[in-house]
Structure 1
Amino acid sequence: MTEHSDAILARMMTLHPKIIDLTLDRVWRLLDALGHPERALPPVIHIAGTNGKGSTQAMIRAGLESAGLRVHAYTSPHLARFHERIRLAGELIDEAYLAEILAECEDANGGTPITYFEITTCAALLAFARVPADYTLLEVGLGGRLDATNVVDRPRLTILTPISLDHQQYLGDTLGQIAAEKAGILKRGVPCIVGPQDPVALEVIEKAAARVGAPLIVHGQHWQVWEEHDRLIYQDERGLLDLPLPNLLGPHQVQNAGAAIAALRELGFDETACEAAVTRAEWPARMQRLRRGPLVDAAGECELWLDGGHNPAGGQAVAETLARMPARRTHLIVGMLNTKDIAGYLRPVAARADSLTAVSIPGEPNTLSAGQTRDAALAAGIHAETAESVLDAVRAIAQRDPGSRILICGSLYLAGQVLRENG
């Protein structure tokens, strides 16, 4: 009987003292031992950026699948269970196959140091190489240049979503340094779709592209996207598309949809695929309305929402989305990691929140305590208190202000906990 994937994954966590240690040496060593699966992938679309990677990937997948194509997709982190990271030809990897692939990678690695993300990325590439599909969507884990996904010599397409400050301890203190790391996915002769960028980041990307010889398809130069009369309007040299607004909520999803459409157009797909990209994408914990489960029951007459954004740009996206929703008293339940810029996250949402209840993230060693999050909220001018758990916080708000809106936010790890608890 095959060992359960959870047991193998737990051992993989112990193979390297650090969670993150950016270099490609260990990945190349293991891929070599596995017979170089990265050379046998269906055409690869490689996506880096600070915000919007997952949503953009989900939209591209929806567009490709609407055209009847089979699509592999790799994403991280997972929310409820590891299997979400590896989608094989449209379906989440099943337990038996995941356990088999992980065991094979563990054996090939032979106990030598390798990070959890590196060895599990190799496992995903091995699965993708063995299952037939038409495209492979690879989402960068962290940065780009030294990320474990950056092992494909010649992807079909690369994409850079908006770049902002995040993970400075690994990628550099300035926007220019971070952009240089992200631009490390550019490859000679491979077109790159560039989403809206700060001028500093765009300059770095343009220099990197000139150096490696990668043609750029840049927002504001080669394509535009905007909202007009509750429609999404996209324009490039091929013409104009008039489409429904994205089914993923929030003004920032218009930009993500633009990058997805630019990618589909570059690949030669028609308006039908572009429309499916914006109307059929599924991406949990991005301003997701929870409609059933114990937390929804506890919320009573309150609306319950969930969002996993966790950096200043994520806070801005939440604030802009709330501003466009029907007016309703809004209470935040927030848990964050101590590696994030909590003041930067809370600053934009402060004007949209009637109160904030702080929680710590269960089982997460890097969580901020509820007290630290409450203090940061008070400093941002938000009426704040703490609760022992998300469930306690939901119950208290529902009792105090029935019919209001409750938004659980601040961390993908917290969002994952909520989705697990809520079934």
Structure 2
Amino acid sequence: MNQSGYKCNLYLSPHLQSFSERFVYNDKEISEEVLINLLEEIEKTLGDGAATLFEILTCAYIKYCEKFKDNITLIEAGLFHQFDSTNVFKQNLASIMGSVGLDHLQWIKNKTIEGIIHEKTVKLLNSNIFVNKQDNKEINSKIEKALENNQSNKYFFGKDFNILKAENSFIQ
């Protein structure tokens, strides 16, 4: 997106070495010093209120985004997006759904591919949904069925779009 002239903010989880890896603004990680100050500000706001580490980090990320209001903000939402703090937005430009695999079966009640698809699709906002390449057509069919009541424009890899690498960019 940066190569196309867009300025972006990016929120990722987890980090590998430092919490600051999760916070990217204008293609640069936030400095440790700025992040510490931001977390102290969030801590003061929370007072004695209970919050998880992920909730605190998400609040800090969103707070710092205020300095970059014209940027496109990309937020990674995990499998249980409906229950986590990244689920605070009421509208978006698009949701991008990654590939569905069996790696989360141990965490869900309905230990099936349908259970994983439900968790990944249940809280997607009505906007544009891009579904990444899946392992097989059956999974795509199940995703289409899960999204049939969602009013979004839906785009499936290989059917509605493809991505080809060009010399300095990607072409749809």
TM-score category, normalised to shorter length: 0.7 to 0.9
Aligned to 2:116: 178
1:129 match: 66
CA contact (8 A) 2:79 2:119 kept: no
- Alignment of 1:243 onto 2:166: yes
The one of 21, 26, 47 equivalent to 1:89 is 26
After TM superposition, the structure 1 = structure 2 runs for residues 233-382 of structure 1, keeping only pairs within 5 Å, are 234=164, 243=166, 273-274=169-170
Question: Residue in 1 aligned with 2:143?
Answer: 205
For the residue of structure 2 that corresponds to 1:211, the secondary structure is coil
Contact 2:82 2:119 (8 Å CA) reproduced: yes
Paired AA for residue 109 in structure 1: L
Residue 141 (structure 1) aligned to one of 71, 74, 78: 78
Letter in 2 for 1:222: D
**1:89-108 equivalence runs, <5 A:** 89-108=26-45
Contact 2:117–2:146 (Cα < 8 Å) also in 1:
no
Q: CA deviation at 1:199?
A: 4.2
**Structure 1 residue 75 displacement after superposition:** 0.5
Q: What letter corresponds to residue 170 of structure 2 in structure 1? A: C
* Per-residue deviation, 1:167: 3.0
Alignment of 1:216-231 (within 5 A): 216-224=154-162
Deviation for aligned residue 1:140: 1.4
Structure showing the higher helix proportion among its residues: 1
- Residue by residue over 1:28-49, the C-alpha shift from the partner in whole angstroms, topping out at 9 and shown as x without a partner, is xxxxxxxxxxxxxxxxxxxxxx
Q: Tell me, which stretches of 5 or more residues in structure 2 are unaligned? A: none
Bigger Rg, which one: 1
Q: Which residue of 2 is the match for residue 159 of structure 1? A: 96
Distance in 1 between residues matched to 2:128 and 2:69, nearest whole Å? 24
Quick one: which amino acid aligns to residue 133 of structure 2? Answer: P
- Measured at CA, do residues 220 and 66 of structure 1 come closer, stay the same or move farther in structure 2, by a change above 3 Å? closer
Q: How many residues align?
A: 170
SS at match of 1:210: coil
1:165 is displaced (CA, Å) by: 1.4
Q: Partner of 1:120 in structure 2?
A: 57
- How far apart, in 1, do the equivalents of 2:52 and 2:106 lie? 17
Quick one: distance in 2 between partners of 1:179 and 1:186? 11
- SS class of match (2:91): coil
Q: Distance in 1 between matches of 2:10 and 2:106?
A: 28
The equivalent residue for 1:22 is: none
CA spacing shift, 1:200–1:119, aligned 2, 3 Å: farther
CA contact under 8 A between 2:133 and 2:158: conserved in structure 1? Answer: yes
Paired with 2:7 and 2:96, the residues of 1 have a C-alpha distance of 20
CA distance in 2, matches of 1:115, 1:167: 21
**How many angstroms apart in 2 are the aligned matches of 1:219 and 1:69?**
23
Aligned pair partner of 2:9 in 54, 57, 72: 72
Query: In the TM superposition, what whole-angstrom CA distance separates every residue of 1:365-405 from its partner, at most 9, and x where no partner exists?
Result: xxxxxxxxxxxxxxxxxxxxxxxxxxxxxxxxxxxxxxxxx
Residue in 2 aligned with 1:258?
A: none
Evaluate the alpha carbon distance shift between residue 122 and residue 212 of structure 1 in structure 2; reply closer, same or farther with a 3 A threshold: same
Distance, in Å, in 2 between the alignment partners of 1:87 and 1:132 is 14
Quote how far apart the aligned CAs of 1:86 are. 0.3
CA contact (8 A) 1:84 1:92 kept: yes
Question: RMSD of the alignment, in Å?
Answer: 2.3
- CA distance change for structure 1 residues 94 and 76 in 2, over 3 Å: closer, same or farther? same
* Distance in structure 1 (CA, Å) of the matches to 2:145 and 2:131: 13
Matches within 5 A, 1:19-34: none
1:200 CA displacement: 4.8
Q: Distance in 1 between matches of 2:45 and 2:51?
A: 12
**What one-letter code is carried by the residue in structure 2 that aligns with 1:170?**
W
**Runs of at least 5 residues in structure 1 that lack an aligned partner in the other structure:** 1-63, 226-233, 235-241, 245-271, 276-423
Aligned equivalents of 1:201, 1:145: Cα separation in 2: 21
